[in-house]
Structure 1
Amino acid sequence: MPRTASRLALSAAAAATLLLGLTGCGSGSSGSSAAAAADAKGTVTVGALSNGAAHQTTLKVPEVAAIRAELPAAVRKRGQLVVGLGFLPAGSPPIGYTGTDQKTLTGSEPDLGRLVAAVFGLKPVLTNATWDNLFIGIDSGKTDVGFSNITDTEQRKQKYDFASYRQDNLGFEVRKDDSWTFTGDYRQLAGKTVAVGSGTNQEKILLEWQARLKAAGKKLTIKYYQEANSTYLALNSHRIDAYFAPNPSVAYHVAKTAGSPQATRSAGTYSGAGASLQGLICATTKKDDGLAKPLADAINYLVTNGQYAKWLAAWNLSDEAVDRSLVNPPGLPLSNS
């Protein structure tokens, strides 16, 4: 995602983590973690140690020799795929955070890195760092690929190659008993009061919609709260109608509150790139290092054989599925990167 949205998503998710009693990534520096489960060869367990944010599922993932052969020789010889994650210091459920053992990285992003490594027949080595240091690791060659909710932008393409694997969506979260649904038409927000994070991509979009509605003589009220606790208290007490946030954060909170008096639901999604382009989250590698195509082929193997859909479903992210992985698809233009 863009930097402003990324930072807010991390802070909002961290606040939600405190609210819900989940320990985040505790170290202040880059580090490595074992896989979330000790998998037998040919299997990968996703959703482990998630503290209720995912449905733990064990998937069969055989090595695919033809795809392994596409890898650069140095990576094959090393026998490891070094997966970069940028979730320090606080973690960002459900995409990347510390599991219930308070030491192991879990989340949708590390799980996909492990699935791809299994297709390659390589051992996954998960390295966690701050957002900035994630890219330093890729630049230096110490990290093979970043799986860290990284949005494809034309600006980033000047330094990196991409293999897409998930839609970059924003989401509306409402009370479970609220029947309102957003289908992509901003006019559906007339008369609503919506909370959003300041300085984020979703705020920019919401302000544009507010201006259009005002020009048409209609009102959209925007509210700001310092942290997630206050936002959800406002939602539960009917002081706001909806919360507009990164879709994975919405999916996480919906899963964590299910069955409780504070239960919420997703009321619809919207592309983080706006109406004219579907934003995409991508595996990210150093430009021209030869990894983008094998990564896309590995992801497409998982799509074709069903593991991809089960991975998304385990993390309640099925509404962000892509039909197939593309190498360097159109990204956010330079004017919006």
Structure 2
Amino acid sequence: MQHSTRTLASRAVTAFALAAVVIPSLAACSDPGANAAGASPAAARNGITYNTSPEQHRIRDQKDPAAAAKVPAAIAKDGKLTVATSAGSIPLSFHATDDKTPVGSELDIAQLVADKLGLELDVKVTSWESWPLKTQSGEVETVISNVGINADRVKLFDFAGYRAAFMGFEARTDSTLQVNGADDVSGKKISVGSGTNQEKILLAWNKELEAKGKAPARLEYYANEADTILALSSGRTDLNLGPYPSAVYRANTRNDLKVVGKVNAGWPSTTLVAAVTQRGNGLAAALSAAIDSAIQDGSYAKVLERWGLSEEAVPSSQVVTAENFAAYKDAASKAVAK
């Protein structure tokens, strides 16, 4: 691995930490489900022009021979990198205005990685719940779909980090709510995905509230993101907790919603979004090298800027496995404590 000489301390800012998941939804980190067909291509209030059309004109890159050399022979044999994505949450991964083409920042990252490895990008849209089985069976070679690392997942998969992982609290624009911690959600109705990292955070906060004799938040569950946002905008819920990039997108493209809080997906520690591979097959090292190469030549930053995600950039990638997860968890915990 190219980064083996770096100390854990220097990598604390990008450390991967425990982000417990509720079984049986091993796949859950967010619960994408909205379709973006019909979304406006006009410049948003944050200055980003979100291209939701099938014609993406993606940022492309050159092959990195050193990274390509790390690809396992069995994967390189067919000349393709088969990538699973859920196509469920704008601007991360969603269907374009033709209602069939997967687009978004995750697809752009996947393209950069494939380019760096000298492979053709082969995208497989899959349901969020299906990616673990499809990865383990070899049906897909990697998953690039806003998946966060946690203690349960590292038992079954290897990871290559590529983006910070934050969750955003959303409220209607006429709301006076501001969420900085558990006390701010006492008694509030909050939509959240079942079995997700964000649900884990809210359940922990509810325990804090109950210990203080305060009313816990009331968690509301909906089948998909579209129903979730409709409930929020119509006043049936007070807050929504979901992927921060999607919350930012809605705050900048709608007039009725705003971001009122932000929390790391690995609370009370930190975690990152990562590409997922079969455990022990060696592909994670190649993906990490490809991501680092894209970071170094600037194409990675251009992709994140294109989708308004620059604040979630990481300075480098790192392979995370069951063998080194505890060390990263410890490093992240120390970083948060400072």
- Listed one character per residue, the Cα deviations across residues 142-199 of structure 1 (whole Å, up to 9, x for unaligned) are 432221222323333333221111233221113346575445x434445765443455
User: Counterparts of 1:144 and 1:199 in 2: how far apart (Å)?
Assistant: 24
Summarize the Cα distance change of 1:285–1:267 in structure 2 as closer, same or farther, 3 Å threshold: same
Alignment match of 1:128 (pick from 125, 129, 146): 125
2:70 pairs with 1:70: yes
> Taking structure 1 as the reference length, what is the TM-score of the superposition?
0.71
User: Counterparts of 1:130 and 1:229 in 2: how far apart (Å)?
Assistant: 16
- Listed one character per residue, the Cα deviations across residues 273-322 of structure 1 (whole Å, up to 9, x for unaligned) are 221x2122221112222211121111112222222222223233334332
User: Counterparts of 2:56 and 2:140 in 1: how far apart (Å)?
Assistant: 27
Q: State percent identity of aligned pairs.
A: 33
RMSD, aligned α-carbons: 3.7
Q: Which residue is 2:153 aligned to? A: 156
User: Counterparts of 1:324 and 1:155 in 2: how far apart (Å)?
Assistant: 24
Q: Describe the SS at the equivalent of 2:59.
A: strand
Runs of at least 5 residues in structure 1 that lack an aligned partner in the other structure: 24-46
Q: Which residue is 1:139 aligned to? A: 136
Q: Which residue is 2:61 aligned to? A: 61
Summarize the Cα distance change of 1:182–1:238 in structure 2 as closer, same or farther, 3 Å threshold: same
**Code of the aligned partner of 1:50:** T
Offset at residue 86 of structure 1 (A): 4.2
**Code of the aligned partner of 1:330:** F
Residues 173-188 of structure 1: pairs in structure 2 closer than 5 A: 173-176=170-173, 181-183=178-180, 185-188=181-184
Offset at residue 224 of structure 1 (A): 2.3
Paired residues of 2:157 and 2:278 also in contact (CA < 8 A): yes
Offset at residue 56 of structure 1 (A): 6.0
Q: Describe the SS at the equivalent of 1:299.
A: helix
Q: Describe the SS at the equivalent of 2:293.
A: helix
Paired residues of 2:82 and 2:140 also in contact (CA < 8 A): yes
- Listed one character per residue, the Cα deviations across residues 239-287 of structure 1 (whole Å, up to 9, x for unaligned) are 6543222324423433442xx3x2x232332122221x21222211122
> Taking structure 2 as the reference length, what is the TM-score of the superposition?
0.71
Aligned residues: 294
- Listed one character per residue, the Cα deviations across residues 60-82 of structure 1 (whole Å, up to 9, x for unaligned) are 52222222222223444432222
Q: Describe the SS at the equivalent of 1:78.
A: coil
Summarize the Cα distance change of 1:160–1:100 in structure 2 as closer, same or farther, 3 Å threshold: same
Alignment match of 2:289 (pick from 297, 300, 314): 297
Indicate the structure whose relative CO is greater, using CA pairs within 8 Å and at least 6 residues apart: 2
Q: Which residue is 2:260 aligned to? A: 267
Summarize the Cα distance change of 1:177–1:152 in structure 2 as closer, same or farther, 3 Å threshold: same
Summarize the Cα distance change of 1:111–1:189 in structure 2 as closer, same or farther, 3 Å threshold: same
Paired residues of 1:255 and 1:316 also in contact (CA < 8 A): no
Q: Describe the SS at the equivalent of 1:288.
A: coil
Summarize the Cα distance change of 1:186–1:288 in structure 2 as closer, same or farther, 3 Å threshold: same
Paired residues of 1:195 and 1:223 also in contact (CA < 8 A): yes
Residues 235-254 of structure 1: pairs in structure 2 closer than 5 A: 235-236=232-233, 241-254=238-251
